[in-house]
Amino acid sequence: KMAGSSSPWIGSAYLFLQSTCKTITLPSLYESSQKKPSVFKALKLALADSTGSMNGVDMLKVHCSHPHLIVQLKFCKQGTCRRFLQSYREGTLQKSLQSHLQLSLALTTVPLEMELKTGSEHLDNMLKDEDHCLECIYREKPDRLRDEEITELEESFKSLTVHQSINNNMVVKDCTPLSPPSLPPSQGSSLSPQVTFIFQGQEFVNRTLLPDDHQKFAKLVSKKWKQVGRSLQKSCRALRDPVIDNLALEYDREGLYEQAYQMLLRFIQSEGKKATIARLISALEENGLISLAEELLGLHSSEDLS
């Protein structure tokens, strides 16, 4: 039986990844010292997307077992593990990882196949029974501490993220927030500053836009996508006239979701690491879309404690 509130909920699982494209071999990319940080970054961001937090799931080790890349995962909260399972089952984790690998490695597409296992159990065969999957993950206790190589990659990822945010041309302030941000400061240095912005009196880490932000924006912005685009075009050449009107015509038959999605895609592709949540929130505020801004910053979603 799963532990009560007296002891922490800890479980482990193995994520098997394989590219279905013959020219892309994930283990070979990970074994390359040049590509390894990019693959790690994509894994880190996709897992953060799936749990809603940079600390939602811990990578203990990445095994290269051609043609698979096998990631050993550790979960410390049942609610977080449940969110991960839902994301995995619905295919959003797969789409997110494909998108992050594509951006990190500058490839046109990275088609993936995924499997989730614990010990001898194939969780893909029982995904509809979420509670049983949770039981299997809980029974599979982590058999190792985090690999030294993963710790090094984690540290360089954190310092790189902070450095990129500092180089961002948004007007932001350097400080270490009193409440823990979604991106933790580097453990090795308490002096490492977080770059944050203020929204409704609260402080948020200024991260780059995630696939989940992209989809939520396109789904919820409705007819006002053009106005948001015009706010963004002030600091983004790729959206200068007549781009927005052309997108409206080009994707007219597909509807508002696709028009909004393509507009933000232009912004993300042209601005790269400078396509930050702070810039999008600022554009939303400018157009009175406060509720959508709150949604993107997670102010609407109540904590899933189940």
DSSP per position, 28-72: HHHHSTTTHHHHHHHHHHHHHHHHTSTTSEEEEEEEEETTEEEEE
Neighbouring-strand partners of residue 174: 195
pTM, to two decimals = 0.54
- State whether residue 172 is helix, strand or coil: coil
Contact 40, 71 (CB under 8 A): no
- pLDDT, position 56: 87
Cα 61 to the center of its chain, rounded Å: 19
Q: What is the pLDDT of residue 300?
A: 67
pLDDT at 160: 67
The verdict on whether omega for the bond into residue 67 sits within 30 degrees of 0, i.e. cis, is yes
Of the candidates 153, 150, 188, the one whose C-alpha atom is nearest the C-alpha of residue 73 is 150
pLDDT at 108: 84
In this predicted structure, what is the pLDDT of residue 94? 95
Instruction: Return the pLDDT at 236.
Output: 93
Tokens representing residue 206 in the block: 């200024």
Sign of the alpha-carbon dihedral angle for 203, 208, 212, 217? positive
Write the CA distances from 147 to 59, 158, 185, 209, 297, integer angstroms. Answer: 9, 17, 20, 29, 32
* Contacts with 179 (C-beta within 8 Å, 6 or more apart), sequence order: 203
What does the radius of gyration of the chain's CA atoms come to, in whole angstroms? Answer: 20
239-272 burial by CB neighbour count: b if 16+ within 10 A, else e? Answer: beeebbeebbeebeeeebbbbbbbbbbbbbeebe
Which residue ranges form the domains of the chain, and what is each CATH number?
A: 11-160 (3.30.70.680), 196-297 (1.10.533.10)
pLDDT of residue 241: 86
Per-block mean pLDDT, blocks of 10 residues, the chain (306 long): 62 95 92 93 93 89 92 94 96 94 88 92 95 95 86 82 50 39 38 68 90 94 96 93 91 93 94 93 94 90 42
pLDDT of residue 156: 83
